[in-house]
Amino acid sequence: MTKLAANLSMLFTEFEFLDRFEAAAQAGFQAVEFQFPYAYDVDDIASKLASSKLELVLHNLPAGNWDAGERGIACHPDRVAEFKQGVDLAIHYARKLGIQQLNCLAGIAPPGISQETARQVFVQNLQFAADQLKAAGLRLLIEPVNTFDVPGFFLSHTGQAVDIIKETGSDNIFLQYDIYHMQRMEGELIHTIKANLPMIKHIQLADNPGRFEPGTGEINFRNLFLQLDAMSYEGSIGCEYKPQAGTIEGLGWRAAHGV
């Protein structure tokens, strides 16, 4: 049965961040995810998770200056030390919050850097992060992101991500498959998920166009959910979409799609 996780970076944003946990629980979610916890005290987040009886299923490694438009630094040759410090910080939060996996955003390829150099740096950073996370009992995920919304993002296709994972030689790097991003870049959602299911440990969703809730665009989510159940997908599905008319008002899609 599909386990949905509310993405608190995009849902319940009418509340302050630490109040979103209770709002998600009251709306019927049993799990949550978010982009970054680092602006908040880890004990405060842990307390909110416990009081709301919620499971945290995912957050990202530090990804540079998000407000300034950075979307990760893992492919930046001049940010390796910062990346490694971020891995340590993420592990600290993960241990306190009881999470099992962390996502690494590759970032936008820096100007003047060849694709080959960006790839080499990304692979080396992933090898470091995967080893550190494995020692802490955590999985490392990487996520292809569409280059229409984020021009220049280094990791943008499923096949590219699979090839990079193989290149690292690590047994502790897996895929985060974002339905919205990959609908924009590739389509063939069900076929691609089925072909790569053993490597996919987390899925995120939003409809296309618009990145709104399921049922607002072109993706047949009812069939997709049925196929995921038929495949025995065991991970969570993060609801990382922009509510068209408020979070609570838009949650009717869950019943309409049988989840």
> What b-and-e string marks burial along 46-83, b requiring 16 or more CB atoms within 10 Å of the CB?
bebbeebebbbbbbbbbbbeeeeeebbbbbbeebeeeb
Domain spans in the chain, listed from the N-terminal domain onward: 3-256
Does the pLDDT at position 185 exceed 70?
Answer: yes
Q: pLDDT tier at 1 (50, 70, 90 boundaries)?
A: low
Residue 153: Cβ-neighbour burial (10 angstroms; 0-12, 13-18, 19+): buried
Catalytic residue numbers read 143, 240
- 3-256: which CATH architecture? Alpha-Beta Barrel (3.20)
pLDDT tens string 4-61: 999 999 999 999 999 999 999 999 999 999 999 999 999 999 999 999 999 999 999 9
Query: Stretch 113-137: mean pLDDT, rounded?
Result: 98
Given this model, what pLDDT does residue 2 score? 75
Give me the residues paired with residue 205 across strands. Answer: 239
Query: Stretch 188-195: mean pLDDT, rounded?
Result: 98
3-state helix, strand, coil in the chain (%, to 5): 45, 15, 40
